[in-house]
A and B are shown apart, each in its own frame.
Chain A
Amino acid sequence: MKPVATSAATHTADTSPMTKSPAALLQGRNLGLQDHGRWLWRGLELAIAAGERVALTGPSGSGKTTLMRTLAGLVPLTEGELVLEQRPLQHWSMPDYRSRIGYLAQRPELGDGDTVQAVLSAPFSYRCHRNQDCPRNLIEQALRQLGRDSDFVQRPVGSLSGGEQQIAALLRLLALQPALLLLDEPTAALDPKTALAVEQLLDAWQRETPGRAWLWSSHDGDQITRMCTRRITLP
């Protein structure tokens, strides 16, 4: 379905395969980011294998959000390189790279669309998703798991609470069927009950197709224990 992604193997042949761990879905090598002359982090090595549930932890201000944004390709790296599915970032078309990686911001923007339905279908007008359709079944199933009516998609965006906006943004991501999720405090705006439902939804999403993975940042230690098997800690 994504021709660029499937041709990854041909590209790995001409770059040094020795330095790659073959199972890594996303690999960051010697990552460094300078902000106003200060290194936010430098010499950072990370690898997320297919199917892995990884936590991202570190004190406030350690650059977790910036790291997520960098991994999503939104922030240019000062140093180092990213390799997705054995293929360096510079060999990816950026929209295709980003369609493999779903980034959920701490306070997501719904923006384009008046209703939840319009928000969910907006990305399908982009060139890199144009040959796909918004998967209604997946969304209805996800809404059931979250204990919500299918009427939810008819709701005007302006009437959504902070938590509901977060849910809409998560549904929008899942509809695009990425291989890796970057979740920046995904349940921070949710009440405990909805937070648990979101955890269950993501758990089911991850188990549904082998190879799906996430990097999950949270201040909730219990959540990390529940949802992640390994952690990357920023100093």
Chain B
Amino acid sequence: MNSLATDGYYSLSMTQVGLAALLLLVNVGLSIGLQLGLTRSLLIASARMTVQLLLVGLILEWVFALSSPLPVLGIALVMASLAGITAAGRTRLRFAGIYWDSLLSVLAAAMIVTGAALAGIVQVEPWYNPQYLIPMLGMVLGNILNGINLGLDRFTTSLFDRSALIDSRLALGATRWEAARTEIREALHTALTPTINSMLVMGVVSLPGMMTGQILAGAAPVDAVRYQIVIIFMITSAAALGSLGAILLAYRRLFNARHQFLKQLLIKR
């Protein structure tokens, strides 16, 4: 079953992938045993992950053969939109427009950072080379998504829980910015903490997935590491840009120009 392929790595059969899925039983067991209520989410997420990745494997083969920018950009747009919608869809509180805010922030942050990295740093030719653009964008998006989700969740719950405090600041003459800046700062902090934490232990505690993948596929570790460093800087700046954008857009919606905090716009899911 296991044969070392000619290009330097063990290719996996579907049976082997199926065996790995058994590991999920640990999570399901824990969820049931401790009544975490996560079984359903776990199963749905696992099924989605598997189907999505299998499909992506097929699609990527086709995408990598593309030689014009439009379809590549189209795929990038779909990926970014899904990231934006997912980021906004998993906060405990929502408000009208949260999806637009999230979408806009994801698109802007991903475009700026991926564009700069592809054209300015890696200097890929042509700039839309899908073999580089799509995987790099994917990694950036995953981190923007997390950043925005954590940031928006923290921002909206802080505002909701502290609405009396926010109103009291406003009543004492604070502008909307003066009334919300503590909560904005905290939300941004929350959004960026996972990225910063993971940078601190990168390579010591955790071997990043992309680098591991490249090494497994036979790349020289020194090369893999250089790519990884570029990617980490990309995802850190993209997460910062994306979450800052989403938090500021949310702030603009939840505080009107008359310096009033519109708590009633925040709705529990």
Contacts and interface: CB of A to CB of B under 8 A. Distances in A.
A96 B173 CA distance: 7
A34 to B, nearest CB: 11
A126 B172 contact: yes
Interface residues of A, number: 29
Interface in B160-188: 162, 164-165, 167-175, 178, 182
A73 interface: yes
Interface stretch (B42-50, B79-87, B92-100, B255-263): B255-263
Nearest to A36: B264
A172 interface: yes
Contact of B164 (A95, A109, A112): A109
B174 A123 contact: yes
Nearest to B170: A74
Contacts of A172: 172
Interface in B172-222: 172-175, 178, 182
B261 to A, nearest CB: 7
B173 A128 contact: yes
B178 A127 contact: yes
B258 A94 contact: yes
Interface string A98-109: 110011010111
Contacts of A99: 172-173
Interface in B138-174: 162, 164-165, 167-174
Contacts of B256: 76
Contact of A127 (B175, B182, B258, B262): B175
Interface in A14-56: none
B169 A76 contact: no
Given A74-B260, A76-B256, A109-B165, A126 B174 contact: yes
Contacts of A122: 172
Given A95-B259, A127-B178, A176 B172 contact: yes
A129 interface: yes
A75 interface: yes
The size class of the interface chain B forms with chain A is: 20 to 34
Interface string A168-200: 000011001000000000000000000000000
Given A73-B258, A76-B256, A111 B165 contact: yes
Contacts of A74: 167, 170-171, 260-261
Nearest to A101: B171
B172 A69 contact: no
A75 B263 CA distance: 10
Contacts of A127: 175, 178
Nearest to B260: A76
B185 to A, nearest CB: 13
B199 to A, nearest CB: 32
A146 to B, nearest CB: 20
Contacts of B162: 109, 111
Contacts of A173: 172
Contacts of B259: 73, 94-95, 98
Given A74-B260, A74-B261, A94-B258, A69 B173 contact: no
A214 B168 CA distance: 18
Nearest to B261: A74
Given A76-B256, A109-B164, A95 B171 contact: no
B254 to A, nearest CB: 13
A134 to B, nearest CB: 12
A99 B173 CA distance: 5
Contact of A98 (B171, B261, B262): B171
Given A75-B260, A76-B258, A126 B178 contact: yes
28 contacts: A72-B171, A73-B258, A74-B167, A74-B170, A74-B171, A74-B261, A75-B260, A76-B258, A76-B262, A94-B260, A95-B175, A95-B259, A96-B173, A98-B172, A98-B173, A102-B171, A105-B164, A108-B168, A111-B168, A111-B169, A112-B182, A123-B172, A126-B173, A126-B174, A126-B175, A126-B178, A128-B173, A176-B172
Interface of A: 69, 72-76, 94-96, 98-99, 102-103, 105, 107-109, 111-112, 122-123, 125-129, 172-173, 176
Given A94-B259, A95-B173, A109-B165, 5 more contacts: A73-B259, A98-B173, A102-B171, A105-B171, A111-B169
Nearest first, the 7 closest Cβ-Cβ pairs linking A and B are A94-B259, A99-B173, A123-B172, A109-B168, A111-B165, A109-B165, A128-B173
